[in-house]
Amino acid sequence: MPELPQLILATRNAHKTEEIRHILGHRFEVLDVRSFPELPEIEETGTTFLENARLKALGISNRIDGWVLADDSGLEVDALGAAPGVWSSSFGGEEGNHQLNNERLMREMAGKTDRNARFRCTLVLAKGGVEKGVFLGTVEGSIAVSPSGNGGFGYDPLFIPADHNATMADLGADVKSRLSHRAKAIQAFVRELETGNLVDF
Ligand code: IMP
């Protein structure tokens, strides 16, 4: 069997890696930067998803051979003026603490009638420090009053996708890998691959 092409994700978030593996199926050998302990942490100093995804994609692909894909993503809540947005992972005061993030979201949304929200995902593909593509995905939905479900990660227990009556965490991995912001961005990447425009992949 021919070797699968490698795709290196510019993330240490095991959930993102698992989800992208699940969405891509058997097209790639998907690794992430946890396999390259010599790589530095890339600081996310941008103010948009695109800026941060670029920083990660270029910062990592400058240092290793191969195709690098960076995911920057987050939650935008209309009643909070699109917060937490790019600051989704530290909204509760501590980087990557999903429980604190969800507690703050529930506090801020208490009594709010407009509960519309969306997840956004921006992917940047790069090789040798050169940007090769940008792929976007969005999923619309609303913020639940209380958390429910054990699937997914982050804000999934509080996010109800449009046209569903359960949270992303209740819906589980197979449904999430079809309808999530990340799934849609990866589908856009796969469509670009299939056009043959990414010739040396
Ligand atoms: P990043 O690592 O800077 O892209 O931060 C992403 C943050 O956005 C995560 O830590 C979560 O808080 C949130 N987030 C992104 N994607 C998802 C998702 O699929 N489900 C739930 N929360 C997510």
Q: Around Cβ 31, how many Cβ atoms within 10 Å?
A: 15
> 44: Cβ below 6 Å to ligand 1?
yes
- Mean pLDDT by runs of 10 across the 201 residues of the chain is 87 96 92 95 96 98 96 98 98 97 98 98 97 98 97 98 98 96 97 87 78
**199 within domain boundaries:** no
Q: Give the pLDDT confidence score for residue 1 in this predicted structure.
A: 59
**128 within domain boundaries:** yes
HSE value, Cβ hemisphere, 13 Å, CA-based, for 98: 14
For residue 84, whether the previous peptide bond is cis, meaning omega lies within 30 degrees of 0, is: yes
Q: Give the pLDDT confidence score for residue 185 in this predicted structure.
A: 98
Residue nearest to atom 22 of ligand 1 (CA): 154
**200 within domain boundaries:** no
How many domains in the chain? 1
Q: What is the pLDDT of residues 44-84, one digit of tens each?
A: 999 999 999 999 999 999 999 999 999 999 999 999 999 99
CA 176 to chain CA centroid, Å, is 12
Whether the CB-CB separation of 183 and 103 falls below 8 Å is answered with no
DSSP string, 49-113: HHHHHHHHHHHHHTTSSSEEEEEEEEEEEGGGTT-BGGGGGGTTSSTT-HHHHHHHHHHHHTT-S
Q: Give the pLDDT confidence score for residue 2 in this predicted structure.
A: 65
Q: Which of 72, 78, 114, 156 is catalytic?
A: 72
Active-site residue flag, 72: yes
**140 within domain boundaries:** yes
Q: Give the pLDDT confidence score for residue 164 in this predicted structure.
A: 97
Residue nearest to atom 9 of ligand 1 (CA): 89
**163 within domain boundaries:** yes
Give the DSSP H or E segment for 19: helix 14-24
**100 within domain boundaries:** yes
Query: Which residues form the domain of 78?
Result: 6-194
Q: Give the pLDDT confidence score for residue 86 in this predicted structure.
A: 97
> 76: Cβ below 6 Å to ligand 1?
no
Q: Give the pLDDT confidence score for residue 143 in this predicted structure.
A: 98
Q: Provide the CATH number for the domain around residue 130.
A: 3.90.950.10
